[in-house]
Structure 1
Amino acid sequence: MSDPLVTTTLARPARLAGQRLLTKRVVVTGGARGIGGEIARRFASEGARIVVLDRLVEEGTRLASEVGGTFIPVDLVDPLDTADATARAIDHLGGVDILVNSAGILRFSPLLEVTVTDWNEMFSVNARAMLTTMQVATRAMIAAGCGGKIINLASMAAKTGGAGEGHYAASKAAVVALTRVAALEWGTHGITVNSLCPGYVLTDMGAATRTDEDIATWCGYSPLGRLGEPADVAGVALFLASPDADYLTGQAINVTGGMVMH
């Protein structure tokens, strides 16, 4: 995609909720809405400078304006565009301290009906694009010599699976494995890499097929008796991005309200 980046002229909030990410340079994929959008908001409230990468131009531009950041459109199915957009984001920020890979797609299909096209699309966005953004960001982090943090959004499906979501669960299991290997390979450079495995979070993803009965059923699976909100995941992401998590790497952390306890 050749669209120009969109930079807002709004001043950053004068009063920040905190200072844990003050001056940190953050790239968030899938940051236009949902969990990624809430992470961008939370990080900005802690002083971070944000670049949002997403295919949703209108929503991404609006979110970037809200947090006083920058939006760059990207087609994550295209590895060249993914690499280019990530490099442009890092160049705009003058480096990168934190990469959050939140972009993902969800499709339901019985395994016997999953096509090669279905499989490739799922993995191209949920796993391959993540590898590309990590490669670009990590090279910049190593060159700067100041370490960094990478946070990848997986899913509880990576650990439990579920009928009708075989290719989705497999792609998210790939995220967990990719995270662990990256943590092993890049730890000597001071880079931590962790993944989050959210449970059923009430976002636009899956809303088209979600019924009130589905919500009631899923609420019953959590000891807390409710489903997750984007803020529940953003809070854990903030912990991982903060100095409090400097000695934590290679983990796949459940944010499931107790639906998964391992």
Structure 2
Amino acid sequence: MLTTMQAAARTMIAAGGGGKIINLASMAAKKGGAGEGAYPASKAAVVALTRVAALEWGEHGINVNCLCPGYVLTEMGAATRTDEMVASWSALSPLGRCASPADVAGVALFLATPDADYLTGQAINVTGGMVMS
């Protein structure tokens, strides 16, 4: 990931500066569970890399942010999740549901627009309120 971010930043700088890098972590970066040490640690590392990259490349007009989605109902997990699992995950959200891929994509799209030009180094929760800090 770091090499990919560095390559992207180098390309943006060579082109005159400015650009957006959007990383993907997980709500686990902020709220890991017992017995899950490696996964939350790896996602927290993505958040840390995001913040360091924002500090390093900000002077070149490059914004670096990160998404931390919660439970997202994708095709990838459809074969292994049950209705009971979805109900229990949904109950964790004040909105009463899990995310759709479009929920996450919408925030990524926002970060890619000029409306997000003054956001950098952020780890944005897309969790329906499951994580609020």
Name the aligned partner's letter for residue 121 of structure 2.
G
Q: 1:204 aligns with which of 75, 78, 83?
A: 75
Name the aligned partner's letter for residue 14 of structure 2.
A
Greater length-normalized contact order (CA 8 Å, ≥ 6 residues apart) = 2
Shift of 1:206: 3.8
Work out the CA distance in 2 between the residues paired with 1:175 and 1:259.
Answer: 20
Q: 1:225 aligns with which of 96, 106, 121?
A: 96
Shift of 1:207: 3.6
Secondary structure of 1:195's partner?
strand
Secondary structure of 2:30's partner?
helix
Secondary structure of 2:125's partner?
strand
Please list every run of 5 or more consecutive structure 1 residues that lacks an aligned counterpart in the other structure.
Answer: 1-129
Secondary structure of 1:151's partner?
strand
Q: 2:24 aligns with which of 138, 148, 153?
A: 153
Match of 1:193 in 2: 64
Match of 1:216 in 2: 87
Work out the CA distance in 1 between the residues paired with 2:75 and 2:42.
Answer: 19
Q: Tell me the C-alpha RMSD between the 2 structures.
A: 1.2
Deviations 1:86-117 (A, max 9, x none): xxxxxxxxxxxxxxxxxxxxxxxxxxxxxxxx
Work out the CA distance in 1 between the residues paired with 2:124 and 2:44.
Answer: 13
> Which one has a bigger Cα radius of gyration?
1
Name the aligned partner's letter for residue 48 of structure 2.
A
> What pairs with 1:105-124 in structure 2 (closer than 5 Å)?
none
> What pairs with 1:83-122 in structure 2 (closer than 5 Å)?
none
Match of 1:143 in 2: 14
Shift of 1:210: 1.7
Shift of 1:181: 0.2
Shift of 1:203: 1.3
Deviations 1:106-140 (A, max 9, x none): xxxxxxxxxxxxxxxxxxxxxxxx11110111111
Provide the TM-score with structure 1 as the length reference: 0.49
Shift of 1:205: 4.1
Name the aligned partner's letter for residue 192 of structure 1.
N
Deviations 1:135-169 (A, max 9, x none): 11111111111311000011000000124432121
Match of 1:83 in 2: none
Work out the CA distance in 2 between the residues paired with 1:209 and 1:230.
Answer: 17
2:110 pairs with 1:239:
yes
Match of 2:44 in 1: 173
2:117 pairs with 1:257:
no
Deviations 1:222-243 (A, max 9, x none): 1111100000011111110000
Percentage of pairs with the same residue: 83
Secondary structure of 1:226's partner?
coil
Aligned residue pairs, count: 133
Name the aligned partner's letter for residue 257 of structure 1.
G
